[in-house]
């Protein structure tokens, strides 16, 4: 057994000295669980159940339809959007919480294509990464078919400069890659794309609430993001959308629903888009879900008196570096390999590991064995034909609001034991579930 330079006692001492440690009290964490999957679904805030119950029993149950006015239900998308704006470098009135990430991407990519066609009609290419989250690629593929454009996928960030050519209309990237945790330099990439005459759309699904984001400072064009990962909004929580003020009023978004109308309660048969980001709303707000999302966003904003996103990022980097150090010291001889960038500036708030041959195919079972021990991460499949290049991924998210350094030490120790004992070979850990 490899002895680590960092002891568990060292990690406990770091937790005791952590100025953010009290933020964990906001969450209803199950006992005996080390939850390293907040990059997929955030933990339940303690405030959420009470808030949603109040919406159900009082606002809906007693006040009924009056609550659209008395409880300000209609303002919820904008109110929650303004709170998210504080986390992503946007101004009040520029973000709306509504619909899903996929729908919001459809809206902004459609708008981006129309702007590009108006300003530079000869540009017919959308560029993204082959490793981007599939829904982003599927939406882009659909819109390319509708608009006579071409989707070009690059296989590494090294190919990005060459892709910024005269054909490029829109560059569509996820700031933090869902598989590897690689983090783009938003400011530098946006500037390079603009210099090439293209627009940039950023997916912040693995950024908002996890890393500092400054959409305004980066001069980005559009952004969308997820409410149920680091924003702790609950399964299927509403997403959010942002458009730079220079673009927001140029075109209708294609899902021109009634609440995006300038005067929805005049019930006119013709569509007149609202000014600003409000036109990016489609249908009636999901009030129960928005109430839960607001509680989740509030857990992140609770860090503002303690240094805000900068302090959360500092702890996140320390947690992930500790995990990498311990995993390599204690598990490298058992086949564990780092699949995320080693440089902190290029890594989001997650660490991905892979397994070397002959354990290439053991990743799913290893994760299931860890989950059975109370260490919850997740698995993302690689390319079976090219596992050396695109390996299966053991994915671990580090949400600094509720993860501590002793959690990191214990998680790595469980990983070491699962591998050293071949516990993962048990049949129960090798039965694939529908969600991995």
203 is catalytic: yes
25/288 Cα distance (integer angstroms): 23
Q: Is 402 a catalytic residue?
A: no
How far is residue 259's CA from residue 282's CA, in Å, rounded to a whole number? 6
Q: CA-CA distance, 292 to 358, in Å (whole number)?
A: 44
Token digits of residue 51:
């808030």
Residue with tokens 């560059």: 171
Q: In what helix (H) or strand (E) does residue 393 lie, and over which residues does it extend?
A: strand 393-397
Give strand pairing partners of 242: 95, 223
H-helix or E-strand spanning residue 191: helix 186-195
- Residue of 378, 395, 398, 429 with catalytic role: 395
Could you confirm whether 228 is annotated as catalytic? Answer: yes
Shortest CA distance to 239 belongs to which of 215, 204, 201, 273? 204
Determine which one of 27, 35, 106, 133 is catalytic: 133
Q: What is the DSSP letter of 361?
A: G
Q: What is the 3-state secondary structure of 105-166?
A: HHHHHHHHHHHHHHHCCCCCEEEEECCCCHHHHHHHHHHHHHHCCEEEEECCHHHHHHHCCC
16-22 long-range Cβ contacts below 8 angstroms, 24+ apart: 18/315, 18/404, 18/405, 19/306, 19/307, 19/311, 20/303, 20/306, 20/311, 20/312, 20/315, 20/400, 20/401, 21/404
229 has catalytic annotation:
yes
Centre a 10 Å sphere on the Cβ of residue 175 and count the other Cβ atoms it contains. Answer: 25
Task: Determine which one of 83, 229, 313, 315 is catalytic.
Answer: 229
List the catalytic residue out of 203, 221, 378, 407: 203
The two structure tokens encoding residue 107: 């809206």
Query: How many angstroms separate the CA atoms of 387 and 385, rounded?
Result: 6
What tokens does 383 get? 């390319």
> 347 catalytic, yes or no?
no
The rounded distance, in Å, linking the Cα atoms of 284 and 264 is 11
What gap in Å lies between CA 189 and CA 89, rounded to an integer?
Answer: 17
Task: Give the tokens for residue 205.
Answer: 């699904």
Burial class for 113, CB neighbours closer than 10 Å (0-12, 13-18, 19+)? buried
- Residue numbers annotated as active site: 133, 203, 228-229, 395
């Amino acid at each position: 057994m490899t002895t680590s330079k960092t002891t568990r006692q060292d990690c406990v001492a770091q937790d005791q000295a952590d100025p953010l440690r009290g933020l964990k009290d906001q969450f209803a964490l199950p006992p005996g669980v080390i939850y390293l999957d907040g990059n997929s679904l955030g933990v339940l805030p303690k405030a959420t159940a009470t808030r949603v119950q109040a919406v159900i029993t009082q606002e809906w149950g007693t006040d009924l339809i009056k609550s659209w006015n008395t409880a300000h239900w209609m303002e919820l998308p904008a109110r929650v959007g303004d709170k998210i704006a504080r986390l992503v470098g946007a101004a009040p009135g520029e973000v709306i919480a509504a619909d899903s990430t996929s729908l919001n991407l459809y809206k902004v990519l459609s708008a981006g294509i129309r702007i590009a066609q108006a300003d530079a009609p000869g540009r017919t290419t959308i560029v993204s990464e082959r490793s981007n989250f599939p829904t982003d690629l599927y939406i882009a593929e659909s819109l390319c078919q509708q608009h006579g454009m071409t989707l070009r996928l690059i296989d590494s960030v090294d190919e990005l400069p060459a892709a910024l050519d005269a054909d490029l209309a829109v560059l569509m990237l996820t700031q933090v890659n869902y598989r590897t945790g690689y983090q783009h330099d938003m400011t530098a990439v946006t500037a390079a794309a603009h210099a090439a005459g293209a627009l940039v759309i950023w997916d912040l699904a693995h950024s908002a609430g996890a890393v500092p984001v400054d959409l305004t400072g980066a001069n980005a064009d559009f952004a969308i993001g997820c409410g149920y990962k680091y924003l702790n909004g609950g399964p299927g929580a509403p997403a959010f959308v942002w458009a730079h003020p220079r673009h927001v009023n140029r075109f209708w978004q294609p899902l021109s629903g009634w609440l995006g109308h300038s005067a929805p309660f005049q019930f006119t048969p013709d569509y007149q888009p609202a000014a600003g980001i409000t036109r990016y709303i489609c249908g009636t707000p999901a009030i129960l879900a928005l109430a839960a999302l607001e509680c989740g966003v509030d857990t992140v904003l609770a860090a503002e008196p303690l240094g805000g996103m900068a302090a959360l990022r500092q702890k996140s980097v320390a947690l992930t570096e500790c995990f990498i150090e311990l995993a390599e010291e204690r598990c490298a001889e058992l086949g564990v390999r780092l699949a995320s960038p080693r440089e902190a500036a290029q890594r989001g708030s997650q660490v991905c590991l892979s397994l070397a041959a002959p354990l290439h195919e053991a990743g799913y079972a290893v994760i299931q064995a860890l989950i059975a021990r109370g260490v919850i991460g997740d698995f993302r499949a690689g390319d079976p034909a090219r596992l050396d290049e695109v390996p299966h991924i053991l994915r671990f998210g580090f949400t600094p609001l509720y993860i501590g350094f002793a959690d990191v030490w214990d998680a790595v120790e469980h990983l070491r034991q699962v591998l050293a004992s071949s516990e993962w070979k048990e049949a129960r850990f090798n039965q694939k579930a529908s969600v991995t």
